[in-house]
Structures are given as C-alpha cells and as structure tokens.
Amino acid sequence: MVVRPPRILAPKRIESPLDALHHEMLEEKAGALSRMVRRFEEALQEWRRLAEVGEGSDDAIRQAALDRAAEALWALIVQRDVLGLPGTERLLREYDVPPVLRARLGIVQPGGRRR
C-alpha cells in the first residue's frame, strides 16, 4: 500500500526558466498597454481642452494636439491588436472619440511624420 501526503502538503511545482520568462513577457505587455492608455488619455484631454478654447487659440497648436491624440490612439489600437484584445469599437465609444479624430487614424506624412 502506498501512502501519499495530501496535495496541500505536496511540494510545489518547480518553475522553469521559461515560466519566469513568460511571466516577465506578460508583465511587459501589460506595462506597455498601460503606458499606451495613459499616453492616449493625456493627448485626448489636451486636444479637448484646446478644442474648447476655440477661436482664441492658435489653429496650428490645435492641429498638433489633434495629431498627437490620433497618433496615441493609433498606437493604443495597434498594441491592443497585437495582444489579441477585442473591442476596438467599444474602446472608441467609451472614450467618445469624435469623427475628426477617427479620421486621422493611421495617417502618416512622407518621412514618417504624422499629419
């Protein structure tokens, strides 16, 4: 007859170096997504603040803020897609992304600069 200790007392599974690497990769993916969300939220807030000012502010400054928000949104969408996260349309609805910002997604000027 074989006597085994209860599972709760059994030795824990020893993690392999690959498990540690996988865990570190997941942490980096989560951190990158968090940074993308924060960058987009800040850019969107800045653009909305400048858009509310309206005629009194410089149009070039507002356009630059719109470009930054579009670039940050594009980076966030790409990061979510790479991670396999669904729901891009839901993301756009939750952040109430206006059509003018949606229209700027993915537009890149020659030489790598965004429009």
Tokens for 36, please give them: 């993308």
Domain boundaries, the chain: 35-115
Find the mean pLDDT for residues 65-80: 93
Other C-beta atoms closer than 10 Å to the C-beta of 51 total: 16
Q: Which of 75, 59, 68 is nearest to 114 (CA)?
A: 68
The model's pTM: 0.75
Of 47-51, 66-70, 105-109, least confident by mean pLDDT is 105-109
Report whether pLDDT(28) > 80: yes
